[in-house]
Amino acid sequence: MLQTTVIPNRSVSPITMLRDASGRAWTGLRTTLAAGVRAWIARRDERQLMEMPDYLLKDIGIGRSEIPGAVRQGRT
């Protein structure tokens, strides 16, 4: 009688395995890049607010010491 043995991971083609691995790599790169862009935007916005005079910040409704939190978490 003929006996067949199933080899694990042989049902998936090497091309599919490579595509899945590269997809995960691109997802990680995209996530890291998005986090970097968000941090850059937050620093830019914080710098712009720090350059504003106190009377404009008061008009917006934030104090100078509240700028980092307002930029990163928003006002609550």
* pLDDT at residue 24 in the model: 74
Q: Does the model's pTM come out above 0.85?
A: no
User: Would you say residue 2 has pLDDT above 80?
Assistant: no
How would you write 3-49 as a 3-class SS string? Answer: CCCCCCCCCCCHHHHHHHHHHHHHHHHHHHHHHHHHHHHHHHHHHHH
